[in-house]
Chain A
Amino acid sequence: MTEFSNKQIITGNTLLSGEAVFLSGDDTFGPDLFNAQIFTDDVSANHALSQCIERSDEIISPYLVSVDVQNSVIRPQELREQIRTAGPSNYFHGKQTEIR
């Protein structure tokens, strides 16, 4: 069993391109999951989310995603989010083409 985790990150899609992006520690949104800021409690996560919602000229429909972190590798718990962070499984398209 995976151990209980309440680690969360914030994700959304950029307005201009629609690309899936993640909030990083320097308060910018970028395409790289490994830069994502990890929130360990609901209060700070929700606080940060409400600030992201204000940034709707940059980012659309931001939301929280539960993640597991092992050896500082971030992995979303849900398949949907795993696919968002990797790209579709039918073609080598999307983020997986950039991850090395």
Chain B
Amino acid sequence: MYQYTNFDRQFIAARNTQFRQQVARRIDGSLTEEEFRPLRLMNGVYLQLHAYMLRVAIPYGTLSSAQMRQLAIIADKWDKGYGHFTTRQNIQFNWPRLIDVPDILDALAEVDLHAIQTSGNTIRNITSDHFAGATSDEVEDPRIISEIIRQWSTDHPEFQFLPRKFKIAVTGCATDRAVIKAHDIGLQATRRDGVIGYQVFVGGGLGRTPVIGKLLCDFLPKQDLLPYLESILSVYNTSGRRDNKYKARIKILVNALGIDNFRDQVEARFSSIRKTFASPDGSFIDNITSQFSPPDFTDRSVSPFEESYQTNPMFKQWVDRNTAQHKHEDYRIVTVSLKEPGQTPGDATSEQMQVLADLAESFSFDELRISHEQNIVLPHVHKADLPLLYNTLKKHRLATANIGLISDIIACPGMDYCSLATARSIPVAKEISTHFDENNMEQDTGEVKIKVSGCINACGHHHVAHIGVLGLNRAGVENYQITLGGDATENTAIGDRAGPGFSQSEVVPAIERILGTYHKLRHDAEESFINTYKRVGITPFKSALYPAAKQSR
């Protein structure tokens, strides 16, 4: 894992001191709210419905045990004993008091965490594959360039006041677990003639205008990455719209110029700055790379695993569902579900965080990951340790075997917390997960991705869900629009709107009709929901959702 340098620590300490003073000046009346608001947002402090909210960045989703423990301590000391992990690999605390935030930020700094650039029109937390460094199909660990980009983008003087927020996601392999094409810039490692470089996608995004990122550059050598990114940002900074915040994201600029024209401008900028750009040199890249070198995997017998796997069907089911192939054949990548049916997706109690920190320390080389699907990953677990790990998880309600299934739902905070919401998302997610858990439909249905957002900003990724649920407000009443056929993998697709929305109580029956249609139409259990949908199209699902009787009324 990357270790903070003295420079990193001094920078965070200075920012925290500065923010402590800003809070004091706000409280003593020397700063007005208008003056203070942008300052608090630069430090991740939002105001929601019931309280302030503090958003802490978890760079490329990687946490050490010590960091996870500190998050648990913060949740206990300054919040209500839990935290919410988000699709952007952040953690949000929903109840901090403004006067406590400077102390919270100092506590975060003790473990090299911060909330800088988790809000505002800046380059946000760099997100990445939560299986980075553990998966077998990787060209290189995407956290290497994610860290380089983090250093370049943090406090970058030119990019503190962009036209709008800016999100970058990186994957190290062709399998996309980071939804890179739904980001302002998406990067994918690729190899050409033995040399590692990056494919660059630009102008993706969700929100009110969902767009799939377009290919900007097919192969960018690694040493050109920063000047090239800087060129993209500078074209955007100069030409992106600032008159209308709904048209201010880079996707709008790329669409307005056309990708070829946009590319020409980037290339022109690139050729002028490349010579002067102080690109990280080989030794710098080597140093960062070495910090992500694989842990010392051990050779031990896997027989304890084999035995449990043969004899304990619950354990087997969990292994099959929640663990994935590791690059070392004796290891597995474990995904710990934060989606126990009926619970709030992405929430972990302080006790659960402590347990996960302990488990990571004992069994996963001290490392944890936060996935954009709001689960927690233990990336390197030896098979022999899986039975004990499973039993411990079970005691803390962390062993739900539902990864990729109906109840593994992404949900944004929605109107239970968020001041921008038009409807609630959490209760909908809870109802769906409880219902399909109780009627035992989950295992037989197989993989289906349901994602719920509480407004058109799409923080819950509903556009790229197999079944997306968008909460709206229709004449004062919550109303849920359903989209079908979105895809968050490398085959990125924006879902199709099924038709008129549903009341809250109609959402579960509607999803039941969608899944019933899938069961009727699939070739066999091997054909997943999304593949069936791609084969048969939306029509049969529409007929199931809106029976003719209703339509003709």
Cα A13 to Cα B47 with chains together (Å): 9
Q: How far is the CB of B464 from chain A (nearest CB, A)?
A: 24
Q: Kindly supply a per-residue 1/0 record for chain B positions 245-274, scoring 1 wherever the CB is within 8 Å of any chain A CB and 0 otherwise.
A: 000000000000000000000000000000
Number of contacts between A and B (CB, 8 Å)? 75
Pairwise interchain contact B49-A83, C-beta atoms closer than 8 A: yes
From B95, B99, B477, A93 is in contact (CB under 8 Å) with B95
Pairwise interchain contact B426-A89, C-beta atoms closer than 8 A: yes
Q: Kindly supply a per-residue 1/0 record for chain B positions 69-88, scoring 1 wherever the CB is within 8 Å of any chain A CB and 0 otherwise.
A: 00000000000100000000
Interface size on A, residues (CB 8 A): 25
CB-CB under 8 A for A87 and B476, given A16-B27, A80-B421, A93-B95: no
Pairwise interchain contact B415-A61, C-beta atoms closer than 8 A: no
Pairwise interchain contact B99-A84, C-beta atoms closer than 8 A: no
Q: Kindly supply a per-residue 1/0 record for chain A positions 77-88, scoring 1 wherever the CB is within 8 Å of any chain B CB and 0 otherwise.
A: 111100110011
Cα A95 to Cα B416 with chains together (Å): 13
| Interface set, chain B 341-381, CB cutoff 8 A to A | 344
Cα A35 to Cα B491 with chains together (Å): 55
Cα A95 to Cα B226 with chains together (Å): 49
Looking across the interface, which residue of chain B has its beta carbon closest to that of A59?
B33
Pairwise interchain contact B98-A83, C-beta atoms closer than 8 A: no
Q: Is the interface of A mostly helix, strand, loop or mixed?
A: loop
CB-CB under 8 A for A89 and B47, given A17-B99, A79-B478: no
Pairwise interchain contact B26-A93, C-beta atoms closer than 8 A: no
From A18, A79, A89, B98 is in contact (CB under 8 Å) with A18
From A60, A79, A95, B47 is in contact (CB under 8 Å) with A60
Name 14 A/B residue pairs within 8 A (Cβ), A-sorted. Answer: A13-B47, A15-B26, A15-B27, A15-B98, A17-B98, A17-B99, A18-B50, A18-B52, A80-B421, A84-B50, A87-B50, A88-B50, A89-B426, A91-B344
| A-B interface, 7 closest residue pairs, ranked by CB to CB distance from nearest | A88-B416, A18-B52, A17-B97, A18-B51, A90-B426, A90-B344, A94-B50
Which A residues fall within an 8 A CB radius of B? 13, 15-20, 56-57, 60-61, 77-80, 83-84, 87-91, 93-95
